[in-house]
Amino acid sequence: MLEIKCPHCGSRSQNEFSYGGDSSVKRPELGKEVPDKDWDDFIYFRNNPRGKHSELWHHVAGCRQWFKVLRDTSTHEIFKTAKLTEEL
């Protein structure tokens, strides 16, 4: 079980959080024309890197804030966590 430092609450066990995927994915703007390829990429395709991955987590059993985590996908090492308004 990972120990994740919520930037708002501090270090808590993984079972307080839920995973939210790649934090670098940006939703295409509403109301804009989006080519099929871009939309497909946004909906279905994610990189699956071995190593550093910046991702979103949601502190569901805590402050209910979404935040960013830089984690190594093979070792689970967490290098840094940050608020959404901060850079990782």
Q: How far apart are CA 87 and CA 78, in angstroms?
A: 15
* Nearest distance in Å: CB 44, another protein: 8
Q: How far apart are CA 67 and CA 21, in angstroms?
A: 11
CB 20 within 8 A of CB 56: yes
What, of Zn ion, another protein, none, does residue 8 touch, CB below 5 to 8 Å by kind?
A: Zn ion
In the chain, the amino acid numbered 11 is S
Of the residues 9, 41, 54, 65, which one makes contact with another protein according to CB under 8 A:
65
Q: Is 50 in the site for another protein (CB under 8 A)?
A: no
Nearer to Zn ion, 6 or 69 (CB): 6
